[in-house]
Amino acid sequence: MGQTTADKIFAAHLRDEPFPGTKVLDLDRVLCHEITTPVAIADLQWRNKDRVFDADKIKAVIDHVTPSKDSKTALQAKMLRDWARRHNIKDFFDVGRNGVCHALFPEKGYIRPGFTAIMGDSHTCTHGAFGAFAAGVGTTDLEVGILKGVCAFRQPETMKINLQGSLPSGVYAKDVILHLISQLGVNGATDQVLEFHGPVVEAMSMDARMTLCNMAIEAGGTCGICQPDAVTVDYLWPYIQDEYQDKEAALTDFARWQADSDAAYSQELTLDVSNLEPQVTYGYKPDCVKPVGEMAGTQVDQIYIGTCTNGRLEDLRQAAAILKQGRIHDRVRGILSPATPDIYAQALKEGIIDTFMQAGFCVTNPTCGACLGMSNGVLAEGEVCASTSNRNFNGRMGKGGMVHLMSPATAAATALKGEITDPRSFQ
C-alpha cells in the first residue's frame, strides 16, 4: 500500500515513537508570534531552560497587534523581540518589516515541500499548500518545539479531496473551501489531513492554494496539503535557485513528497466546482454556508479585506477589479489590510492601493487586526462585517458583532452596494 504526502513526511521525520501511534517528529520550522510565544518564553526562563534548539529553524513575527496598542501588547512584543535578539534568531520581523505570519513566512521562502512546521496558531495548516506538514499547536507544544525541535502527533489519517471541473468566473478558492467545510462540518476532518487533488487545485496559484489550506482547521483538519508541482517550484525559485541546477531538478526532488497513486485514504470526496456559486457564511460557525444569492441583500456595516486567508496580492487584485467600478456605499466603511509589506508595496506599484482608496477604503498596515477583534476594526454590538477572514464565531470581531465570511471579490461587491452582493454582477 502506498503513502499519502503526510505519511511520507511523518516517516522521514520520525524521531521517536514512545508509544504505539504516538509519533514524535523532528521539526524543520518552529514559527512564532507575539500572542502565544511570550508565555512559552516566560515558562522556559522560569524553568531555567531559556534556550533554543536551532536559531535558524525558528522564525518569529509580531503580527496580531502591531504597532502595539497598549502596555500589555507592547510587553508581548518586547518579550518576543528581546528573546529573538538574545538567541540570535535572525529571521525576526519587527514593526515595518512585519506581516501576517501565514502570508509572510511562505513569502520569505521558509516553507518547502516535505517540511514539518508548527506554530502556536491554528491557521498554521496554511503552509501545507507547499506540500508540507504544518500544524497549529498550543503554547506547550511550541515551548517544547523551541527547546527540543520536536512535536508529538497521533499519525493523522488523510482524506483525499478531488476538485474536478473548472472554477467559473467570479468563483475562487475561498468559495471552494467554504463549500467544502459546509459539506464536512466543523468537525468532519478532526485529526485528519485534507489532501487536495485534481485539475482545479493544479490550476491554482500558490496564493489560492494557501487560501484553500488555510481553512482546513475550520473543518477540524490538522493540515491541508497540496501536491508540490511546477507552480510550487516557480514560487520558491528565488529562494532555491542555488540549491538546484534548474527548475526541472527541483521539481524532481519535490515530487518525492507527492502521494503515491495507491495511497490509503480514510475517505475520498469529489467535488465538481464547475457550477459552484460564490459562497457566504451565515450564523456563528464556518460550516453555516449558503450560495451568495440566498444571502444577497443582507446589510452590512463594515467590509474587511485582508488576513492570512485572503490578504495576498491575488486577493487584492480580485477585489480591486470590482472596486474600480464604483465607490463604497455611503452607509458602510471598508478596511484593507494587505497581509505583508511586500504585498503592500506591490499593490502600490500596481495601483491597487489607489483603487481601494479612491473607492473609499481605509488602508491599514499589515496585521491580523480585526479578524479576531484585537485591534484595527473591532465591531460594535449589533454590527455586521463582510470579511475575507476565516472565522465567524460569535463575538470574534467584537462582542455582539456578526461576521459573514466570503471571497475578496464578494466582499468588494458588497462594499459597493452596502449589502451582500454577488460579485458576478460586476463582471
Partner 1 sequence: MTQKTFGGPVLFLDRDDINTDEIIPAKYLTEVEKQALQPHMLEDLQLDGFSPDAPKVAEARVIVTRGNFGCGSSREHAPWVFEVNGVHTIIAESYARIFRQNMFNGGMLALELPKEKIDQLFDLGRQSEVEIAVDVPNSTLVARNQQGQQLELGFDLSPFDRSLVEAGGWVEFADARY
Q: Which stretch in 17-25, 169-177, 241-249, 413-421 sits in contact with partner 1 by CB under 8 A?
A: 17-25
Distance of closest approach, residue 106 Cβ to partner 1, in angstroms:
18
Asked if 394 is part of the footprint of partner 1 (rule: CB under 8 A), the reply reads yes
Q: Is 318 exposed, middle or buried (0-12, 13-18, 19+ CB in 10 A)?
A: buried
Phi-psi map region of 115: left, alpha, beta (phi>0 left; psi -120 to 50 alpha): beta
Tell me how many residues contact partner 1 (CB under 8 A): 57
What is d(CA 282, CA 120) in angstroms, rounded to the nearest whole number?
28
43, 157, 253, 301: which one binds partner 1 (CB under 8 A): 43
Residue 247: how many CA atoms within 13 Å on its side-chain side? 11
Asked if 372 is part of the footprint of partner 1 (rule: CB under 8 A), the reply reads yes
Footprint on residues 47-86 left by partner 1 (CB under 8 A): 47, 49, 64-65, 70, 72-73, 75-76, 79
82, 256, 327, 393: which one binds partner 1 (CB under 8 A): 393
Q: How far is CA 355 from the centre of its chain?
A: 25
322: nearest Cα among 336, 309, 308: 336
The residue (of 131 and 220) whose beta carbon lies closer to partner 1 is: 220
289: nearest Cα among 179, 423, 371: 179
Distance of closest approach, residue 374 Cβ to partner 1, in angstroms:
6
Grid cell in block for residue 12: 522521514
Q: Which stretch in 226-234, 299-307, 308-316, 368-376 sits in contact with partner 1 by CB under 8 A?
A: 368-376
Asked if 178 is part of the footprint of partner 1 (rule: CB under 8 A), the reply reads no
Q: Which stretch in 159-167, 186-194, 264-272, 303-311 sits in contact with partner 1 by CB under 8 A?
A: 186-194
Distance of closest approach, residue 141 Cβ to partner 1, in angstroms:
6
Q: Which stretch in 4-12, 100-108, 366-374, 410-418 sits in contact with partner 1 by CB under 8 A?
A: 366-374
What is d(CA 193, CA 216) in angstroms, rounded to the nearest whole number?
8
Q: Rounded to whole angstroms, what are the CA distances from 319 to 106, 210, 312, 413, 418? A: 22, 17, 11, 8, 15
Distance of closest approach, residue 206 Cβ to partner 1, in angstroms:
23
At which residue does the C-alpha cell 503515491 appear?
260
Q: What is the DSSP letter of 425?
A: G
Q: Is the dihedral of CA 296, 297, 299, 300 positive or negative?
A: positive
What x/- string results for residues 124 through 153 when contact with partner 1 is judged by CB under 8 A? x-----------xxxxxx-xx--xx-x-x-
The residue (of 19 and 275) whose beta carbon lies closer to partner 1 is: 19
Footprint on residues 214-243 left by partner 1 (CB under 8 A): 220, 222
The residue (of 73 and 279) whose beta carbon lies closer to partner 1 is: 73
- Alpha-carbon torsion, ordered 376, 379, 380, 382, to 10 deg: 170
What is d(CA 303, CA 426) in angstroms, rounded to the nearest whole number?
17
Residues β-bridged to residue 419: 299
How many other C-beta atoms lie within 10 A of the C-beta of residue 47? 10
At which residue does the C-alpha cell 480591486 appear?
320
What x/- string results for residues 82 through 111 when contact with partner 1 is judged by CB under 8 A? ------------------------------
Asked if 183 is part of the footprint of partner 1 (rule: CB under 8 A), the reply reads no
Site of interaction with partner 1 (CB under 8 A): 15-16, 18-22, 24, 35-36, 38-39, 42-43, 47, 49, 64-65, 70, 72-73, 75-76, 79, 120-122, 124, 136-141, 143-144, 147-148, 150, 152, 186-187, 190-191, 220, 222, 284-285, 372-374, 391, 393-396, 399
